């Protein structure tokens, strides 16, 4: 599928630009072929150094994750990769949760009818949260951890009401983390994936969160500044981003 697609040929006349590129983020296109819709993460126009080092690594990581997780409902399927250039992934018909949350905020600000706002909020139903928990269980059972679920753009709600998880560049496979201290880190990331769901629930549907979940989120927030793990990961990510910007 999408066998003849060449990312360098994509433009506004044959594809829809879903996200503008930045120095460190590739443009994302939506393309259609034979009744199927795909998302193309297109590294082909980034600078040479970025494309050949960072681009290749990111494409390799995401490819590995999609291959491990193939067939799980809630993880889009990978149609094709073009090494060093692009990932072509099944497009999910729906909305990412950052866009979803922003829409809720602007509806509240521009005085949209309360009923419309409530209807939208209800899309994040108890079933949605049960299903995302099941989805994360299944991913963990396959031996993978997402590691970046606290970022709401990486979770989508489909038009079918179901959760979908995208952006696997930061994932870790269990068999890559067998040795100390990586095995400890892996366990922390497993917990972190679940904490991301709690955070999402407490922030958007506090009425659905249990007392334990409210408490877990409070503890997480209270301890966040002191937690060595969180701080180390945050600082590490910041350093990587600065390095990437220099390379771009
Ligand atoms: N399979 C998909 N179907 C539909 N939309 C998608 C899909 N994959 C990504 N998107 C959209 O593109 C956005 C960015 O995707 P993704 O997170 O994979 O890119 P990224 O370059 O890793 O971005 P960031 O660094 O900001 O996380 C998502 O938030 C979502 O809106
Ligand atoms: Mg992302």
**pLDDT tens digit string along 154-190?**
999 999 999 999 999 999 999 999 999 889 999 999 9
d(CA 57, CA 55): 5
Instruction: Please check whether residues 166 and 226 belong to one and the same domain.
Output: yes
Among 90, 106, 124, where does a domain finish? 90
Question: What pTM value is reported for the model?
Answer: 0.93
In this structure, is residue 137 part of a structural domain? yes
Instruction: Please check whether residues 22 and 106 belong to one and the same domain.
Output: no
Nearest CA to ligand 1 atom 30: 96
Spatial strand order in the sheet of 163-165? 94-96, 155-158, 163-165
In this structure, is residue 162 part of a structural domain? yes
Measured in Å, residue 155 CA sits from the centre of ligand 2 at 8
Measured in Å, residue 153 CA sits from the centre of ligand 1 at 7
CATH number of the domain bearing residue 98: 1.10.510.10
Among 70, 90, 110, where does a domain finish? 90
In this structure, is residue 22 part of a structural domain? yes
Instruction: Please check whether residues 118 and 194 belong to one and the same domain.
Output: yes
Nearest CA to ligand 1 atom 11: 96
How many domains does the structure of the chain reveal? Answer: 2
Give residue 55's domain range: 7-90
Helix (H) or strand (E) holding 158: strand 155-158
d(CA 193, CA 148): 8
In this structure, is residue 1 part of a structural domain? no
Contact 24/245 with Cβ under 8 angstroms? yes
In this structure, is residue 208 part of a structural domain? yes
Instruction: Please check whether residues 75 and 196 belong to one and the same domain.
Output: no
Q: What is the pLDDT of residues 43-58, one digit of tens each?
A: 998 888 888 998 999 9
Measured in Å, residue 166 CA sits from the centre of ligand 1 at 6
In this structure, is residue 53 part of a structural domain? yes
Q: Which ligand is nearest to the CA of 165?
A: 1
Instruction: Please check whether residues 166 and 141 belong to one and the same domain.
Output: yes
In short, whether 91's Cβ falls inside 6 Å of ligand 1 is yes
Among 24, 55, 90, where does a domain finish? 90
Instruction: Please check whether residues 85 and 57 belong to one and the same domain.
Output: yes
Instruction: Please check whether residues 166 and 183 belong to one and the same domain.
Output: yes
d(CA 83, CA 61): 11
Instruction: Please check whether residues 167 and 112 belong to one and the same domain.
Output: yes
Contact 41/25 with Cβ under 8 angstroms? no
Q: Which ligand is nearest to the CA of 93?
A: 1
d(CA 21, CA 248): 12
Pairing relationship of beta strands 78-82 and 163-165 according to DSSP bridges: unpaired
In terms of Cβ atoms closer than 10 Å to its own Cβ (0-12, 13-18, 19+), residue 92 is buried
Instruction: Please check whether residues 131 and 239 belong to one and the same domain.
Output: yes
The DSSP symbol for 33 reads E
Query: How many other C-beta atoms lie within 10 A of the C-beta of residue 70?
Result: 11
In this structure, is residue 180 part of a structural domain? yes
In this structure, is residue 2 part of a structural domain? no
Instruction: Please check whether residues 120 and 206 belong to one and the same domain.
Output: yes
Measured in Å, residue 109 CA sits from the centre of ligand 2 at 26
- Nearest to 230, CA basis, from 167, 165, 153, 147: 147
Pairing relationship of beta strands 86-90 and 78-82 according to DSSP bridges: antiparallel
- Nearest to 43, CA basis, from 244, 235, 238, 242: 244
The b/e string for 106-124 (b: 16+ C-beta within 10 A; e otherwise) is: ebeeeeeeeeeeeeebeeb
Instruction: Please check whether residues 12 and 131 belong to one and the same domain.
Output: no
CATH number of the domain bearing residue 71: 3.30.200.20
Instruction: Please check whether residues 147 and 183 belong to one and the same domain.
Output: yes
Q: What is the pLDDT along the chain (248 residues), one digit of tens a residue?
A: 899 999 989 999 999 999 999 888 899 999 999 999 999 999 998 888 888 998 999 999 999 999 999 999 999 999 999 988 999 999 999 999 999 999 999 998 888 788 888 899 999 999 999 999 999 999 999 999 999 999 999 999 999 999 999 999 999 999 999 999 889 999 999 999 999 999 999 999 999 999 999 999 999 888 775 566 677 777 777 777 677 666 66
């Amino acid at each position: 599928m999408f066998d003849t697609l060449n990312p360098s040929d994509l433009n506004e006349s044959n594809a829809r630009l879903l996200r503008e590129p930045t120095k460190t983020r590739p443009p994302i296109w939506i393309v259609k072929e034979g009744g199927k819709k795909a998302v193309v993460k297109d590294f082909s126009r980034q600078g040479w150094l970025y494309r050949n080092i960072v681009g290749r690594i990111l494409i390799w990581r995401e490819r590995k994750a999609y291959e491990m997780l193939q067939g799980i409902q809630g993880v889009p399927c990978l149609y094709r990769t073009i090494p060093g250039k692009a990932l072509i992934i099944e497009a999910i018909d729906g909305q990412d949760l950052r866009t979803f949350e922003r829409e809720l905020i602007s509806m509240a600000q521009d005085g949209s009818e309360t009923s419309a706002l409530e209807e939208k909020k209800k899309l994040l139903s108890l079933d949605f949260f049960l299903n995302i928990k099941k989805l994360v269980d299944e991913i963990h059972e396959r031996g993978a951890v997402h590691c970046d679920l606290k970022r709401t753009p990486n979770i989508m709600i489909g038009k079918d009401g179901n959760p979908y998880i995208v952006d696997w560049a930061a994932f870790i496979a269990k068999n890559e983390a067998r040795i100390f201290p990586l095995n400890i880190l892996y366990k922390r990331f497993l917990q972190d994936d679940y904490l991301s769901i709690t955070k999402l629930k407490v922030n958007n549907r506090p009425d659905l969160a249990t007392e334990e979940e409210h408490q877990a989120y409070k503890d997480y927030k209270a301890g966040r500044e002191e937690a060595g793990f969180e701080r180390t990961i945050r600082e590490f990510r910041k350093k990587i981003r600065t390095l990437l910007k220099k390379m771009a």
